[in-house]
């Protein structure tokens, strides 16, 4: 199967980090197609960045599907453009935020999310409520690390995230941790070992869910909420272009 992993922002180094995490998680026989939204902001931090990313994200998904992708992973923890992408694509579309939270709910009764900046906290809290998982989340904590700082100084970033994990365990009673940014993917294994509890990163979780959906022959429902957009002036027009690989 072919899974397109879309970085909704335009930072190439982050795309490379995301794709490496996806390929580590992928089963033999799964091809990961690396896609980047070159029309998006350099990082997605809050509502405005997310809104700016959506048009390019949708064009990237359309091109990947026209190029043969069977499923799609939106590699932003805000699940940027997820509903619109599901309306557009035939194959299953998985957001890394929802994937990580669902996976955490399978291995712990209470989990905490450690994200980047405070402006993301309300977005993630709203997503958890929408996905029916708010009652299982004991807190969404901001490390106050800008997204691009994760790459600029990984050692310092790892310490900040680790400090928030300690607080989530001691103050919130967290039994598992969800890393709330695609750029945190490389930290998961070391943090799990250090703190002695499951640490879930969304890219790997989303890949496994996408593989499961494709193997079960599932496609996105086109009845009701995810019905495809009707052609109209000013509406979305599919104009395929080769995805970045």
Residue of 109, 110, 78 whose CA lies nearest to 95: 78
pLDDT of residue 239: 58
| CATH dotted code for 2-96+204-226 | 3.40.50.12500
Alpha-carbon span 127 to 138, nearest angstrom: 14
| CATH dotted code for 97-201 | 3.40.50.12500
Model confidence pLDDT, tens digit, residues 160-203: 999 999 999 999 999 999 999 988 988 999 999 999 999 999 99
Alpha-carbon span 219 to 21, nearest angstrom: 24
pLDDT surpassing 50 at residue 85: yes
- Work out the mean pLDDT of the chain and round it to a whole number: 94
| Cα four-point dihedral sign 95, 181, 149, 14 | negative
Distance of CA 7 to the CA centre of its chain: 9
In sequence order, which ranges of 89-245 are alpha helices (DSSP H)? 96-107, 121-130, 149-152, 154-172, 188-195, 202-215
| Whether the domain at 2-96+204-226 and the domain at 97-201 fall into the same CATH topology | yes
pLDDT surpassing 60 at residue 206: yes
pLDDT of residue 145: 86
Domain ranges of the chain: 2-96+204-226, 97-201
Residue of 168, 62, 58 whose CA lies nearest to 115: 168
Given pLDDT bands bounded at 50, 70 and 90, which one contains residue 243?
A: very low
């Amino acid at each position: 199967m072919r899974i397109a992993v879309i970085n909704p922002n335009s930072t190439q180094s982050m795309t490379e980090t995301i794709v490496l995490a996806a390929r580590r998680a992928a089963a033999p026989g799964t091809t990961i197609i690396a896609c980047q939204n070159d029309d998006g902001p350099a990082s997605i931090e809050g509502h405005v960045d997310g809104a700016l990313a959506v048009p390019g994200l949708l064009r990237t998904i359309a091109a990947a599907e026209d190029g043969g992708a069977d499923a799609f992973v939106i590699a932003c923890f805000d699940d940027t453009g997820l509903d619109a992408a599901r309306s557009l694509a035939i194959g299953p579309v998985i957001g890394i935020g929802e994937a990580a939270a669902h996976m955490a709910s399978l291995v712990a009764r209470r989990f905490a999310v450690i994200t980047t900046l405070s402006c993301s906290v309300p977005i993630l809290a709203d997503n958890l409520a929408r996905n029916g998982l708010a009652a299982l989340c004991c807190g969404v904590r901001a490390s106050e690390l800008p997204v691009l700082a994760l790459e600029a100084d990984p050692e310092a970033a790892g310490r900040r995230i680790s400090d928030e994990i300690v607080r989530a365990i001691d103050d919130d009673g967290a039994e598992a941790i969800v890393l709330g940014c695609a750029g945190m993917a490389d930290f998961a294994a070391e943090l799990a070992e250090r703190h002695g509890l499951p640490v879930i990163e969304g890219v790997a979780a989303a890949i496994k869910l996408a593989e499961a959906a494709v193997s079960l022959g599932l496609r996105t429902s086109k009845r009701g909420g995810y019905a495809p957009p009707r052609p109209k002036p000013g509406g979305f027009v599919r104009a395929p272009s080769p995805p970045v690989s």
